[in-house]
Amino acid sequence: MAESPLIPGAVIRVGAPGPVFRPVPGHTAGVLTVATGPDTGLIVPLTPGTHTVARNSKAAVCLRDLDVSRNEHARLEISEDGRAVVVDGGSTNGTFVGRARVTGRAALKPGTVMQVGADELLWAPHPAEALGAVRSADGRLDFNRAFAAACGCRELCHPG
């Protein structure tokens, strides 16, 4: 397992096909995690830019929940420094941030729940001093784990 490409929270399924593999891009601003709902356990690393949330395999955040719009339920705008903004894509069921329906743009702060259909998602930006990585000659990423700071998501992983 130490040499596997699994990331924390990855779901391993035996006996049925798993989700479509998407390689982790080189520079991610953070990860979006489905905490509860039909897609629980899904973790999507996101780069800075605009990303679609939909029930569509071409969407950056592809959810299976039937209450999620097929083409564009919502958009996530991710900045270089890890700030996230949610824009509803005109969905019938709505997009909610902290239980408030998104009607324009809404900031998605770390620890605040974004609800899309029956799925509840959490955004966790990477800390400024993110884990150092260097791409090796064979294309793999080598991480400097010896002096890596602990992730700043304790409150997300272990709510008190």
Taking only the tens place, the pLDDT of each residue in 88-110 is: 999 999 999 999 999 999 999 99
pLDDT of residue 154: 42
| Low-confidence residues of the chain: pLDDT under 50 | 1, 21, 145-160
pLDDT of residue 138: 73
Question: What integer pLDDT is reported at residue 13 of this predicted model?
Answer: 64
The Cα–Cα gap between 19 and 42 comes to 9
User: What sign results for the dihedral spanned by CA atoms 12, 16, 17, 18?
Assistant: negative
55 contacts 47 by C-beta, under 8 angstroms: no
pTM given for the model: 0.66
Instruction: Count CB-CB contacts under 10 A for residue 74.
Output: 27
Residue 9's pLDDT is: 67
**Model pLDDT, residue 68:** 95
Is residue 156 helix, strand or coil? helix
As a whole number of angstroms, the longest Cα–Cα distance in the chain is 48
